[in-house]
Amino acid sequence: MPKANLQTIDSVERAFLVCVETDENAEPYAIEELTSLVRTAGGTVVGELHQHRPTPDPAYYIGRGKSEELEAGVRDTLADFVVVDCELTPTQQRNLQEIVQCRVVDRTQLILDIFAQRAHTREGKLQTELAQLTYLLPRLMNLYTKFERQQGGIGVRGGAGETKLETDRRKVRDRIGALQEELAEVQSQRQQQRNLRRRLPFPTAALVGYTSSGKSTLLNLLSGSDVYADPKLFATLDPTTRRVILPDGWAILLTDTVGFIRNLPHDLVAAFRATLEEVCEADFLIHVVDASAPQRELQMAAVMTTLEELGAAEKPIITVLNKSDRVSDHYLLREMVANDPNSCYISARTAEGVPSVMDHIVRVIKSLLVPVTLHIPYSRSNLLAQCYEYGRVIHADYREDSIHVRAEITRDLAGRLEEYRVKRR
C-alpha cells in the first residue's frame, strides 16, 4: 500500500469505545455522547463493547474475561486506542493497557484533551494544564509503559502530554505549583476587570447549559455580536460578556460560559472554578436547553447538579428551550413551558421566540429591583440620571433643598446611594 495512504488513515485516530452500565447507573445515550466526544477530539469510532455489571471490577474495570474480548476487538478493528466511559483508577488503566496492548483513555482524560485543544486564552490554557497535571500525578507510573511513550495522540495532548516523558512526580508538582501561582495572577486581573464591570450597575446574567445547547448562538442573537459557535462540543472555554439591550430601555450584561456535561471531571471543575465564578456572581441565570435532544431531561439534570455544586442553584433561573426549529411537535414544547412559568422556547437560529425570552428577562430584572426613597442634593443630580438609566423612576419631586425621588433600582446602585436613602419608619 502506498505510504501516503497510510498516513491519511493514521491522521484520524481510531477509537474503540467501552460502555459499562452498573445497576444504579444506567445512562441511555452515553455511547452517543462518548462518540461525539471522540469526534470532537478528532478521532473516529471503529468499535464498541457494552457490558452490564453491578459493580466495576477493581482490577480491570470490565473484568479479566471481558478485557480479553476487548483485546480481540481492538485487534480486529485496528483501533489505536480504547476509550472507557468512566473515570478509571490508575491501576485499572494500567492493567487494561497491558491486556489490550494499546493506549486506554478514560472519559475524564478525553474531556481534558478536548479542553487542551480548545483553550485559547492564557487563563484557559493554564486552567486546562493544571487540571491535566492534577489528573496525571497519580497516574505517572502508567506513563512508563510502552504505549504511553509514543508522544501525542488523543488523551495525552497539550502541555501535559508533551512534557510527560521527562517528568517525574517532583517535576509535575513543581509545575503545578508554578501554574497555580500564574493562575492566581491572571485571576486577580480578571477580578479587577469584573470590578470595573461592576461599576456599571447593570444587572448581570450568565448563560449556562449543556455543551452544544446553543448558549453562544443565543448570546450572538441577543447582543448582535459574533461569539464563536460550533457544532462540536466545548466550543466556548473562556467567558465572554456582552451588553444586551431589552425593550423599554432595560439592559443587562450577559456572560457566556463553558458548557456543562454529565459527570464533569472534578479536577476540571476545580481548575475552572474562577471562570465558573462568573456564574456565581451573576444576578440571575439563563439555562439554555437543547429541546431537540432526546436526552434533554438528563442534560438538564446534569446542569442543575453542577449548579448545585457551584452553590448557584438558588439564583433566579430562566429556562430557555432552544432549537425549537428542530422540534416538530410544538405541543411538546408548549407543554414543557406550561409546567414551568419561568421557561420559554426559542430558536436561536431562526430567532423565533426572542420576544418571549426578552419578556422573561425583563420580568426577572424587575423582580431584582429594590424600591427606594431618596433625597438627592442638586449638586449630585447626575445620580438621578443613573436611577433613570439603571432602574425605574416612579416619582421625582424637585423640592427646595433636594430632589425627592421614589424609584426601583438595582441592588448595586441602591448600595451606592445608601447615604441619600430615606428609611421608612
Ligand X SMILES: Nc1nc2c(ncn2[C@@H]2O[C@H](COP(=O)(O)OP(=O)(O)OP(=O)(O)O)[C@@H](O)[C@H]2O)c(=O)[nH]1
* Dist. CA 378–CA 211, nearest whole Å: 51
Our CA angle for 146, 149, 155, nearest 5°, is: 110
CA distances from 362 to 48, 243, 337 (A): 48, 14, 18
Of 82 and 235, CB closest to Mg ion: 235
Rounded to a whole number of angstroms, the minimum distance from the CB of residue 259 to Mg ion is 6
51/8 Cα distance (integer angstroms): 33
214 binds, among Mg ion, ligand X, none (CB under 5 to 8 A by kind): ligand X
Residue number, 229 or 286, with CB nearest to ligand X: 229
User: Which is nearer to Mg ion, 201 or 259 (by Cβ)?
Assistant: 259
Show the CA angle centred on residue 328, arms to residues 323 and 221, nearest 5°: 20
322 binds, among Mg ion, ligand X, none (CB under 5 to 8 A by kind): ligand X
| Among ligand X, Mg ion, none, partner that 234 touches (CB below 5 to 8 angstroms by kind) | ligand X
Rank residues 82 and 258 by Cβ distance to ligand X and give the closer one.
Answer: 258
Residue 227 contacts residue 208 (beta carbons within 8 Å): no
Closest CB to ligand X: residue number = 259
Q: How far is the CB of 98 from ligand X (least distance, A)?
A: 35
- Residue 231 interacts with which of Mg ion, ligand X, none, CB < 5 to 8 Å by class: ligand X
> How many residues can be counted in the chain?
425
Residue 235 sits in the site that holds Mg ion (CB under 5 A):
yes
CB–CB of 280/202 below 8 Å? no
CB 159 within 8 A of CB 92: no
Q: Which of 128, 134, 223, 236 binds Mg ion (CB under 5 A)?
A: 236
C-alpha cell at 70: 476487548
Give 30 or 208: the residue with its C-beta nearer to ligand X.
Answer: 208
CB of 270 to ligand X, least distance (A): 19
| Closer residue to ligand X, CB minimum distance, 46 or 289 | 289
Q: From CA 36, how far away is CA 9, in angstroms rounded?
A: 19
- DSSP letters of 222-278? HHT------SSTT---S-EEEEEE-GGG-EEEEEE-PPB-TT--HHHHHHTHHHHHH
Burial of 390 (C-beta count, 10 Å sphere; 0-12/13-18/19+): buried
Classify burial at 363, counting beta carbons within 10 Å of its beta carbon; exposed 0-12, middle 13-18, buried 19 or more.
middle
For Mg ion (CB under 5 A), the number of binding residues is 4
Among ligand X, Mg ion, none, the one that 349 touches (CB under a kind-dependent 5 to 8 A) is ligand X
Residue 217 C-beta: closest distance to Mg ion, Å: 8
User: Closest CB to ligand X among 43 and 391?
Assistant: 43
Q: CB nearer to Mg ion: give 33 or 80.
A: 33
**Grid cell of 323 as nine digits:** 432549537
Query: Which of the listed partners (Mg ion, ligand X, none) does 93 bind, with a CB threshold of 5 to 8 Å by partner kind?
Result: none
Whichever of 70 and 235 has its CB closer to ligand X, that residue is: 235
Rule CB under 5 A: say whether 357 interacts with Mg ion.
Answer: no
Please give the distance of CA 176 from its chain centroid, rounded to a whole number. 23
Does residue 216 bind Mg ion (CB under 5 A)?
yes
Task: Select from Mg ion, ligand X, none the partner in contact with residue 107, using the beta carbon and a kind-dependent cut-off of 5 to 8 Å.
Answer: none
Question: Is 211 near Mg ion (CB under 5 A)?
Answer: no
- Residue whose beta carbon is closest to Mg ion: 236
Q: Whole-number minimum distance, CB 107 to ligand X, in Å?
A: 17
**Which chain residues interact with ligand X by CB under 6 A?**
209, 211-217, 229-231, 233-236, 259, 322-323, 325-326, 347-349
In degrees rounded to 5, what are phi and psi of residue 131? -65, -40
The span from the CA of 297 to the CA of 20, in Å, is: 21
- Show the cell assigned to 114: 478536548
Give the separation between CA 158 and CA 136, rounded to whole angstroms: 13
The one of ligand X, Mg ion, none whose footprint includes residue 131, by CB under 5 to 8 A per kind, is none
Shortest distance, position 40 Cβ to ligand X, whole Å: 9
Q: Whose Cβ is closer to Mg ion: residue 138's or residue 224's? A: 224
Q: How far is the CB of 306 from ligand X (least distance, A)?
A: 12
Q: Which residues pair with 205 in a beta bridge?
A: 254, 284
Percentages (nearest 5) of helix, strand, coil residues in the chain: 50, 20, 30
- Least separation in angstroms between residue 36's CB and ligand X is 11
Nearest-approach distance from CB 30 to ligand X, in angstroms:
18
Q: Which residues pair with 19 in a beta bridge?
A: 50
CB of 236 to Mg ion, least distance (A): 3
- In the complex, the residues that contact Mg ion under the rule CB under 5 A are 215-216, 235-236
